[in-house]
Amino acid sequence: MKRLIKNFTKDPKSDVLSGLTVALALVPEAVAFAFVAGLDPLVGLYGAFIMGIITALFGGRPGMISGATGAMAVIMVHLVKEGNAVGQALDNAIPSLGLQWLLVTLLIVGMIQILGGTFRLGKFVRLIPHPVMMGFVNGLAIVIFLAQLTMFKTTVNGQEEWLSGQTLFLMLGLVLLTMGIMWGLPKLTKKIPSALVAIVVVAAVTILGNLDVSTVGSFIRDGGGEGLKGGLPEFQMQLFSMIPTIDGHWKLIIMTAFLLAAVGLIESLMTLNLVDELTETRGSGNRECIAQGAGNILSGLFGGMGGCAMIGQSIINVNSGGRGRLSGIVAAVTLLCFVLFGSSLIERIPIAALVGVMFMVVIGTFAWSSFRIINKIPLSDAFVLIAVSIITVWQDLAVAVIAGVIMSALVFAWKNATMIRARKRIKEDGTKVYEIWGPLFFGSVQNFNTKFSVKQDPKSVEIDFIESKVSDHSGIEALRNVANKYIDSGRKIKITHLSKECKVLLMKANPKWQNYIETNIDDPRYHVMTDVMDSEI
C-alpha cells in the first residue's frame, strides 16, 4: 500500500502542473494523428484519453504518458481506407466502416499485448544494446522535428504551401518566444513548469494582440474536422454487428493487429527504458504490456483510435516534474475536460506555442553526446547507432529497433565466433589434450572443427571444456561429430568439464556417451567458500 501511494504522487503540485502542460501538448498531437489515420479528431482525442487514464492508473511506469501515436497511425491508414471502401460498396452504405474495422482490430491488439505481458515478454527490452538506444532517441528527435515542420505549411486552393512573408516571421517569432521562456524560466524558478508558462504567455500575446495566427481550432478545421466539442466516449453497441462485414478481410485485420501490437509494445518499452534512465528508477515492462493491452481493448470498445506510450509527451512530463501516476491521470482527465467543456478556449491556443514546446523536446531528446563519442566507440557500434537513426526516420521506430538489435546480435555472434581456441599439450601417458577456450555455438562451429587433427593424433585424446561452454544445439552436434571421428578411427576419446545441461542432452541422444564423458573429476577451480565451510562444520 505504501508503494502504491508513493507511486501515485510524491509532489502533488508538480504532478498536477505537469499534467496540465502535457494535456495541452496532447491535443494537436492526437488531432494530427487522427487525420493521418483518416479518422475524426474526436476519435484521436478519445483514444488519447482512454490510453492515458488506463496506463496512468495501471501501467508499469509512473510518469509515463500514453496516447494516440504517429507510429501506430500510419499502420492504421490502409485498414481504415479498405474498410471505408467496403462500406461504400454495400447496399446500405456505411461510410464509417473503416473505423468499425479498426475498433475490432484494437480488441485483438489488446489481447496480443496482454498475452505479451502475461508471458513476461517485457524483459526482452533488456536485450536492446546501448547504441540501438542512442540511435533510437536520435532518430526519434529527428522524427519529432520533421513532424513540426508540417505546421509551417498552409493549404491554398487545395494544395499545401510553405508559409512566407509576414506570416512566416510571425510564426517563427512566437516559436522562438516559447523556446526562450522554456530556456530562461528554469534559471529563475523551477516551481512551475516552463512549458505551461510558455503556452499561456504566447496564447495571451496572440489573443490580446489580436494576431492572425494558426490555432488549434483552425488546424482542426483545415484538416476537415468540425472542432473539439464532444461528449463522453460511448460504448460501441454496433461493433460486434459489424463483424460479418469483415468476411474475406480477416487476413488484413489479423496482420494489422499483430503489427500494431508489436509497434505499440516496442515503442512503449523503449519509452519506459528511456524514462527509467531520466528518473534513475526502474519500471515494470510486463505490467506496462498488460496496461497497454487493456487500454487498446477499451479504446476499441469506446470508440478511440488506441495507441501506445508517447516519448515526446513523457519527456515533457518528466522534465516538468511529473514523476507520479497523478501526472498521467491529470493529463488524461484534463484532455477529456477540454473536449467536454473547454473546447472553445483550447482551440484558441496558437500552434506556434505547441511547436516551440516540441522543438525544446527535440533538443532535450537528441543524444548530443553521440557526436563526441562516435569516433571513440567500436566501428560496429557506430554503424549501428547511425543505421538505427536513419531507419527510424526512413521507416518507423519498431523497424529501426528490430533492425538494430539484429545487427548488434550479428556483430556479437561474429566476434564470438572468432574467439574459440584450442590449447594443445601431451600428458605423461601420451594422451593429447585439447583445452578449448571460448564459446562453442553455431557461429564458432567451423573454427572448432579445424582445431583437431584426427589422423595425426595419438591413440588417446582428451577434450577439456574447462574454459568453454557448449551454448546451443549446433555446438552439441559439432562436439558429437568430432568425437565420432575419433571413435570411428579406433582412438580413445574422453570429454571433460562439460556443463550439466550438455551432458544431459548428449546422454539423451545416445546413452553410450556416458563411456566418453568424464563425470567424476576433481577440479579445484570449482570449489567455493560455502563448500569449504560445509566440510568443516
What is the domain count for the chain?
2
446 and 374 fall within a common domain: no
Q: Is 464 helix (H, G, I), strand (E, B) or coil?
A: strand
Q: Is residue 27 one of the residues assigned to a domain?
A: yes
Q: Is 377 in contact with 55 (CB distance < 8 Å)?
A: no
Phi-psi region of 165 (alpha: psi -120 to 50; beta: other; left: phi over 0): left
Q: Is residue 359 one of the residues assigned to a domain?
A: no
Higher pLDDT, 392 or 114: 114
The reported pLDDT for the residue numbered 109 is 96
300 and 431 fall within a common domain: no
Residue the block writes with cell 488524461: 332
Q: What is the pLDDT of residues 48-68, one digit of tens each?
A: 999 999 999 999 999 999 998
377 and 469 fall within a common domain: no
Lowest mean pLDDT among 115-129, 301-315, 414-428, 475-489: 115-129
The reported pLDDT for the residue numbered 296 is 97
Owning domain of residue 262: 2-152+228-349+368-392
Residue 39: is its pLDDT beyond 90? no
How far apart (Å, rounded) are the C-alpha atoms in residues 250 and 338?
A: 37
Residue 32: is its pLDDT beyond 90? no
Lowest mean pLDDT among 380-389, 394-403, 468-477, 522-531: 522-531
Residue 234: is its pLDDT beyond 60? yes
Q: Is residue 398 one of the residues assigned to a domain?
A: no
Q: Is 350 in contact with 357 (CB distance < 8 Å)?
A: no
380 and 440 fall within a common domain: no
- All three cell numbers of 360: 525544446
9 and 69 fall within a common domain: yes
Helices within 245-284 (DSSP H only):
250-279
Q: Is 413 helix (H, G, I), strand (E, B) or coil?
A: helix
**DSSP for 396-412, written as a single string:** -HHHHHHHHHHHHHHHH
452 and 384 fall within a common domain: no
CATH, residue 500: 3.30.750.24
377 and 439 fall within a common domain: no
Classify residue 222 as exposed, middle or buried by CB count within 10 Å of its CB (0-12, 13-18, 19+). middle
Residue 517: is its pLDDT beyond 60? yes
Lowest mean pLDDT among 200-209, 348-357, 496-505, 524-533: 524-533
* 340 C-beta neighbours (distance < 10 Å), count: 13
Helices within 90-120 (DSSP H only):
97-118
338 and 447 fall within a common domain: no
Q: Is residue 451 one of the residues assigned to a domain?
A: yes
When pLDDT is averaged across residues 230-236 and rounded to a whole number, the result is 90
Q: Is residue 306 one of the residues assigned to a domain?
A: yes
Per-residue confidence band for 406, with pLDDT thresholds at 50, 70 and 90: very high
Q: Is residue 202 one of the residues assigned to a domain?
A: no
380 and 480 fall within a common domain: no
Residue 259: is its pLDDT beyond 60? yes
- All three cell numbers of 88: 461504400
Q: Is 239 in contact with 301 (CB distance < 8 Å)?
A: yes
The whole model's pTM is what? 0.74
The reported pLDDT for the residue numbered 527 is 41
129 and 258 fall within a common domain: yes
How far apart (Å, rounded) are the C-alpha atoms in residues 59 and 53?
A: 9
Q: What is the pLDDT of residues 105-157, one digit of tens each?
A: 999 999 999 999 999 887 777 778 889 888 888 887 888 788 888 888 887 77
79 and 132 fall within a common domain: yes
Q: Is residue 211 one of the residues assigned to a domain?
A: no
The reported pLDDT for the residue numbered 91 is 59
Q: Is residue 354 one of the residues assigned to a domain?
A: no
**Residue-averaged pLDDT of the chain:** 86
59 and 145 fall within a common domain: yes
Residue 3: is its pLDDT beyond 80? no
How far apart (Å, rounded) are the C-alpha atoms in residues 126 and 116?
A: 15
